[in-house]
Amino acid sequence: MDLSYILNHLGEERANYLNAVSPPIFQTSNFTFNSVSDLRTSIKDEMNIPFYTRGCNPTVSILRKKIAALEGAEDALVMSSGSAAASAAIISQLAAGDHLISVSKPYSWTFKLITLFLDRFGVEATFVDGTKVENFENAIKPNTKLIVLESPNSLTFELQDLAAISSLAKFRNITTVIDNSYCSPLNQKPIELGIDLVFHSATKYLAGHSDAVCGVICGSTEKIKQIFASEFMTLGAIISPNDAFLLMRGLRTLPLRMERVSKSVFKILHYLEKNENVAKIYHPFSESFPQLALANKQMKSASGLLSFELKAENREEVDLFCDSLNTFLLACSWGGHESLVFPICGLDDSANYKDNELPWNLIRINIGLEDPQYLIDDLDQAFKKYRNSEYFSTANHLSDSH
């Protein structure tokens, strides 16, 4: 299906709402019927016929069609957050006594879902280094029902070989689910590679404007129906009609935004790769990335989120660099129009902040839609301030002179 058709027309039955070009926000909780017989017919298909907004809202229904088509899936559900989507997708495939295998560093709340929540309900989990396919194979048990993937993750960007893992899982009758937020459906199509369920934090690239929190799940008609009838309706984490409108508005420009971000990120990478204050860069399309070949194989292009290790001696130096940025806003999240910076050591106020699992000097930046030179100028002045500061040690100066 043509991308332009999906984003501009699919699902939009304009004659049903006075030929409005932009669909109305159906801000209603419920829908009325002319007869009991009509009511009876509608409740039989609560997922697709407006009856009560938790099950079906016309604004949200348009989105479901567009999101499914973008992922190449048969159907999709739209939810109130990426975490709601992750939870519904993962819980739906499991029961007490089952075992799941997860990639070792999933998004923090996905990790908590598995370790704090599912554990209470008797689901056992094994976390594996996802860069090697055999790690998944070796972790399989007779009761393994689900493999949870996130390729790449959103801090250090390790990838998993999706085609290899999905064929391994299919052979053993194990369901696969992936968090595809980083790539967006434009840069990676997991369903084409055999993955069963795909979810997104639509808060990030899909909505793209840092003004709505939302999530989506994509999969086969059968799986989506099953999730709808259970986790979706019982947990009830639905998107509001208003946020559905914002998500749809964001989608209109998804290809333009992703193209802009991809072009900009290569310029920023090039700048950082030459920068003497940078110890290590993390980005799937960076020249030094160990899985660059796999990125080229299964991802179409680069997204705008990357990390680097600052050649710093201590937390104060990282703080100084980040505090010196003017254009990059100091904030969590990513995927919006604006560039952001987030230092990992901002999460830890203890004295032993260097003992973290992640490098303490790791700084994540989100490249937004600004002119890349405008962003480079800001990085440049912040690096200069940091280098000239009293914190900047002699040891650093010496090692940099080579």
Ligand X SMILES: *Cc1c(COP(=O)(O)O)cnc(C)c1O
Question: Residue 104 has which token pair?
Answer: 């070792």
Q: 56 or 155, CB closer to ligand X?
A: 155
CB of 103 to ligand X, least distance (A): 11
Question: Rounded to the nearest 5°, which phi and psi values hold at 340?
Answer: -135, 155
366 binds ligand X (CB under 6 A): no
Shortest distance in whole angstroms from residue 40 CB to ligand X: 37
Identify whether the C-beta of residue 98 lies closer than 8 Å to the C-beta of residue 146.
yes
Residue 92 engages ligand X in binding (rule: CB under 6 A): no
Contacts of 314 (CB under 8 A, 6+ apart): 391
Q: How far is the CB of 82 from ligand X (least distance, A)?
A: 2
Distance CA 69, CA 53 (A): 22
Number of residues that bind ligand X (CB under 6 A): 13
**CA distance to 205, 263, 369, 372, per residue, from 375 (Å):** 19, 13, 10, 5
Least CB distance to ligand X at residue 351 (A): 29
Q: How far is the CB of 261 from ligand X (least distance, A)?
A: 15
Using an 8 Å Cβ cutoff, are 308 and 344 in contact? no
> Nearest-CA neighbor of 319 among 398, 396, 394, 385?
385
Q: Closest CB to ligand X among 264 and 366? A: 366
Which residue number is nearest to ligand X in terms of Cβ? 82
Q: Which stretch binds ligand X (CB under 6 A): 28-36, 80-88, 308-316, 349-357?
A: 80-88
* One of 83, 151, 184, 187 touching ligand X (CB under 6 A): 83
If the CB atoms of residues 57 and 81 are measured against ligand X, the closer one turns out to be 81
Restricted to residues 199-238, the positions that interact with ligand X (CB under 6 A) are 201, 203-204, 213, 215
| 176-205 residues near ligand X, rule: CB under 6 A | 179, 181, 201, 203-204
> What is the C-alpha separation between 164 and 134, in angstroms, rounded?
10
Task: Specify the stretch interacting with ligand X by CB under 6 A; choose among 77-85, 273-281, 295-303, 354-362.
Answer: 77-85
Calculate the dihedral angle through the C-alpha atoms of 67, 71, 72, 74, rounding to the nearest 10 degrees: -50
Q: Residue 88 or 312: which CB sits closer to ligand X?
A: 88
Closest CA to 295 of 328, 265, 336, 335: 265
Beta pairing, strands 215-219 & 144-150: unpaired
CA 81 to chain centre: 11
The helix (H) or strand (E) run that includes residue 27 is: none
Residue whose CB is less far from ligand X, 313 or 338: 338
Q: In the bound complex, what is the minimum distance in angstroms from residue 327's beta carbon to ligand X?
A: 22
Helix, strand or coil, per DSSP, at residue 281: strand
- Minimum distance of ligand X from residue 306's CB (angstroms): 14
Tell which one of 154, 184, 187, 327 touches ligand X (CB under 6 A): 154
Nearest approach, Cβ of 386 to ligand X (angstroms)?
27
196 in Cβ contact with 175 (< 8 Å): yes
Residues that bind ligand X (CB under 6 A): 81-83, 86, 107, 154, 179, 181, 201, 203-204, 213, 215
